[in-house]
Amino acid sequence: MVRQMMTLCIAGALVASIAPGQTYESKSKSETKVKGTEVKTKTQTETKAAGTKIKSKTETQTKNGVVVKSKTSTSEKTKTAKATKPVKVKTKHIARVEHDVNQLEPLLAGVNTTATINNTTWMRLANEANMLANRIYANTRSANASADVITVARELRTHVQMFRTQVRMGDLAGARLHAQEALTLAYRIDQWSS
């Protein structure tokens, strides 16, 4: 039996602020297909900030809780700014954070559906989200990010850990709540890493 669930997480006009005066708009579309123990997730994300437009596509396939195939493509268009702003140099740690956040976002968006997912799949999704959140936190600290970004990464990790705890206890409504909170924080970290 093939169960399909489609999640359209369109956060049009989701405006979040990382620092005063820096706002962005993010749109996300996620599609998750579940067939037995195989989970396929496709996500498209578009983020607009002042003078910049970033499009990201991610495809992830897991089988028995193990990532079998993962593909991410990102394109960025930047308009020339009239005023001179300091240029942020992208380090390996920031690139790792961006990659991990791009994998975590569709996973968290996918669990916020009303589709029926068995307990084993829930636990595998929670474990993968926990692993990604731990790596995001570690790499933001290694990237010498600002205290605000490190705090957001710590809160992300905390919500993902609570999500995992709720899944273990069988409280799926509580798990979805923490996944939604973690997704909001993941968008903020995605904006920083871009």
What does the mean pLDDT of the chain come to?
Answer: 78
The secondary structure element, H or E, covering residue 184 is: helix 172-193
For 188, what's the count of Cα atoms within 13 Å in the CB-facing half-sphere? 20
Fold of 3-193: Four Helix Bundle (Hemerythrin (Met), subunit A) (1.20.120)
Query: How far lies 164's CA from each of 17, 137, 150, in Å?
Result: 27, 16, 21
Q: What is the DSSP letter of 81?
A: P
pLDDT for position 119: 87
6 against 50, higher pLDDT: 50
Domain boundaries, the chain: 3-193
When computed from its CA atoms, the radius of gyration of the chain, rounded to whole angstroms, is 17
61-106 per-position pLDDT tens digit: 777 767 677 777 777 777 765 555 555 556 888 889 999 999 999 9
Please state, in angstroms and rounded to a whole number, the distance separating the CA atoms of residues 26 and 56: 11
Q: Stretch 17-40: mean pLDDT, rounded? A: 67
168-193 per-position pLDDT tens digit: 999 988 999 999 999 999 999 988 88
Query: CB-based burial of residue 183 (10 Å sphere; 0-12 exposed, 13-18 middle, 19+ buried)?
Result: buried
Residue 97 φ then ψ, to 5°: -60, -45
**What pairs with residue 74 in β-bridges?**
56
pLDDT for position 127: 94
* Distance separating the N- and C-terminal Cα atoms of the chain: 40
